[in-house]
Chain A
Amino acid sequence: MGNLLGIEVGSKQIRYLVFSKKGRKCLVSKKGAVLLSGTAPSFMAHAVLSIISQEKIPFGDCYLTFLQDNMLSSQFILPRIPARELEEVVRGEIEKIPSFSAEDFYFTFSHRPFEDAKTKVIFSAVLKNAVDPLYSEAREKKSRFKRIELAPLNLLPLSYHLHKGKDEAMIVVDDNATYVMVNSAKECKLLYSISSGKSTLYRDDKLDSGEFLNWTEEIRRALKSYALSYNVLEVKDCWLVWDRDKPGLEQQIEGKLGLRVKSLDITLFAGFAALAGSELNPRDCIAAAPIIAELNKYNSEFNFKGMMREQFLKDSKKKLIAAFAVYSLCVVAALGSVFLFYSKERGQIKQRLVDTRASIAELEIKTQALREKRDEAIRAKELLILQAGFVRELNRVSWSRVFGEVATELPAEVAFSSFQVSGTSSVTLRGEALDVASVAELVRRIDNSRVLYKASFDFLKEAKRKDESIYFTFGILASIRKDDQ
């Protein structure tokens, strides 16, 4: 782990501490201060960036604490309202302050019930033009300060950790202001700011007793007010955060207010120490507070991250938009390609459907025509078969064979005068015979013939020739035997 840089951004000077991590120890390796040559925010930004550049510590390891004269740290009491409306009410209260009414500012606050149906709000606000130049500079370098906090509120978690008791005060003495805070059970119950600080308490490096008296009286009133409000007898313990180059303030306060005053020191916190030879000042705790709180995991009731949420949101928006754009691109690319693929395929399929339907329609017409042709062919074939059957019937008789057979069967005493076939089966034989027996023999032979059958007499007549000899004329009816009979 590299070095850590704690910077206290004041109105007139920038104080900083460099911490080196050695094992579990966090040592203050360097401390310094840069006097500002002007009050404009650009001077302050330039000084801070110079320190960061000089120490070669990345923005991600830098912790900023603002404690400036133009900051506003105070408390107010208002009727109890829903928590979600508090932010706007606090913003309104801050805007009532003339120096904040026309300016943009960052602020943080905590709230808690106070007395009956009231809410006590403790807040701190800083002008945006004091913070934004530094923030923008870090963002330009694609980085961000590790923490940006407002003092004296960021000192409270340190005292919670050290004391853990009830009703403990913390007095933070700045150049031109003093902040009195009282906490109990890890909650800040009072924040009171006094408009005199180190520069008014000390004149020519000597404590101005008159100013000091007024100062202590104001503190006393604040503490008494707290004691009355919370039914506490008195506040006895007090942490003091101040610039120790003016010695003896602890004793003066103890003497005047009767408090047990302890100076807040970095070395009081676990793991923190100073390098041998280097002298630490309670004021250094302001620059070190965010680092101590982070490394020791001290939680604060003030949401300093939320204070910068506009900027944070702006950055987050950019990231989210970028992430959304990437996601959208991926989704559009993935699902879009799926959609396009199937749309394209559908286009082709639709075209194929149209083509196939057309082809089917054409084929159906052609097939129907072929079917009709086939039916016609079948019909014609069947008719031809029927006709051929008729012809076959006719063609079954071999006439040469019939005549040959008949000639063979003819008795010697019989002579045919005619042989007539009507149609395909009926045969009429006519002839002459010398006697009836020969005709009868002929009938018998025809009946037993292989080509004729069913022989019967048609007629039989006796006749005389010129020489008075008798002969017989006859007619025989027969049927022609078909091949299969």
Chain B
Amino acid sequence: MINKTLSPKTDVVNLKLIFTVIAVILTVLLGFASVQSFLSYRSESHELRELDIRHSRLEKDFVSLGNLIEQYTREQEKFQKLLFQEQDVPLFLEEIALFASDAKVKILDVKTRTFVKVKYLDPAKAEKNKKSGPKEEDQGLVLSSLPVQVNIQGTFESIVKFLMKLERYKQLLTLSDVEIKLKEYPQLLCSLTVSIYSLREMKTGMAQ
């Protein structure tokens, strides 16, 4: 009977088994570490992709908002061109005198008041807007009007001509409270309020 315990094959097999087990453990450990590393990498990559997408959206929003604000600014500037600036008021008063001269009316009196905030067309909407807005109603850039009380004397034709010149003025103005009275025929007395408009930074408590 062959004694198998003496067989070197058994020992070598055992030795191989030990080394194989160690190799397998090493492989498994390293494999586990590698797989773990890969899975973490994949998870973090995924997170990064999502963050990149979010970042990209935010960038688009940022650009879009910037464009929108720029558009608002341009619109505002365009609107402002239709309006009077602070420095335009003396010039306008001079031009009233010129118009009067051209229309052959006599300016009896010109009184400028102070800038007041223009009323809203729909107060309810304005109230709603005011409530939703982050700022107080009387703060920020608002449309303000400067009423100029003008008293003139002239014939009917010259007064109409004068009014026509005012109506065709290049910047926005309105005529109101027009009153014409007979003074001594054909001379008429005309009083009217010319309101010129400007965008002004209103301070709290400024009257409408």
- Asked if B15 and A316 sit within 8 Å, CB to CB, the answer is yes
Known interface pairs A366-B62, A391-B118, A421-B176; A376-B140 also in contact (CB < 8 Å) = yes
Interface positions of B from 19 to 47, Cβ below 8 Å from A: 19, 22-23, 26-27, 30-31, 33-34, 37-38, 40-41, 44-45, 47
Measured between alpha carbons, how far is A379 from B33 in the docked complex, in Å? 58
Dominant SS at the B interface?
A: helix
A29 to chain B, nearest CB (A): 32
Measured between alpha carbons, how far is A388 from B142 in the docked complex, in Å? 10
Interface positions of B from 48 to 86, Cβ below 8 Å from A: 48, 51-52, 54-55, 58-59, 61-62, 65-66, 68-69, 72-73, 75-76, 79
Binary interface encoding of chain A residues 313-325 relative to chain B, with 1 for a CB under 8 A from any of its CBs, else 0: 1001100110110
Measured between alpha carbons, how far is A373 from B135 in the docked complex, in Å? 11
A299 to chain B, nearest CB (A): 8
Which chain B positions have C-beta within 8 A of A390? 118-121
A83 sits at the interface (CB 8 A): yes
B172 to chain A, nearest CB (A): 7
Q: Of A112, A306, A356, A391, which one neighbours B8 at CB under 8 angstroms?
A: A306
Q: Of B1, B5, B72, which one neighbours A87 at CB under 8 angstroms?
A: B5
Known interface pairs A339-B34, A377-B69, A399-B163; A419-B178 also in contact (CB < 8 Å) = yes
Q: Of A301, A339, A399, which one neighbours B1 at CB under 8 angstroms?
A: A301
A480 to chain B, nearest CB (A): 10
B160 sits at the interface (CB 8 A): yes
Binary interface encoding of chain A residues 209-225 relative to chain B, with 1 for a CB under 8 A from any of its CBs, else 0: 00000000000000000
Binary interface encoding of chain A residues 358-388 relative to chain B, with 1 for a CB under 8 A from any of its CBs, else 0: 0110011011001111111111111110111
Q: Of A303, A374, A421, which one neighbours B65 at CB under 8 angstroms?
A: A374
B94 sits at the interface (CB 8 A): no
B101 sits at the interface (CB 8 A): no
Interface positions of A from 231 to 250, Cβ below 8 Å from B: none
Which chain B positions have C-beta within 8 A of A259? none
Dominant SS at the A interface?
A: helix
Measured between alpha carbons, how far is A359 from B121 in the docked complex, in Å? 44
B153 sits at the interface (CB 8 A): no
- Asked if B37 and A353 sit within 8 Å, CB to CB, the answer is no
Q: Of B11, B141, B197, which one neighbours A391 at CB under 8 angstroms?
A: B197
A257 sits at the interface (CB 8 A): no
Measured between alpha carbons, how far is A354 from B66 in the docked complex, in Å? 26
Measured between alpha carbons, how far is A303 from B11 in the docked complex, in Å? 14
- Asked if B51 and A335 sit within 8 Å, CB to CB, the answer is no
- Asked if B41 and A386 sit within 8 Å, CB to CB, the answer is no
Interface positions of B from 97 to 130, Cβ below 8 Å from A: 117-122, 125-126, 129-130
- Asked if B23 and A328 sit within 8 Å, CB to CB, the answer is yes
- Asked if B16 and A356 sit within 8 Å, CB to CB, the answer is no
- Asked if A338 and B5 sit within 8 Å, CB to CB, the answer is no
* Residue with the greatest number of chain A CB neighbours at <10 A, chosen from B2, B3, B8: B3
- Asked if B181 and A394 sit within 8 Å, CB to CB, the answer is no
Known interface pairs A328-B26, A331-B27, A338-B38; A379-B55 also in contact (CB < 8 Å) = no
Question: What is the interface of chain B, defined by CB distance below 8 A to chain A?
Answer: 1-9, 11-12, 15-16, 19, 22-23, 26-27, 30-31, 33-34, 37-38, 40-41, 44-45, 47-48, 51-52, 54-55, 58-59, 61-62, 65-66, 68-69, 72-73, 75-76, 79, 117-122, 125-126, 129-130, 132-135, 140-143, 145, 156, 159-161, 163-164, 167, 172, 174-182, 185, 192, 195, 197, 199
If A110-B3, A335-B27, A373-B65 are given as contacts, then 4 extra A-B residue pairs at C-beta distance below 8 Å, sorted by A number, are: A306-B7, A336-B30, A379-B132, A381-B76
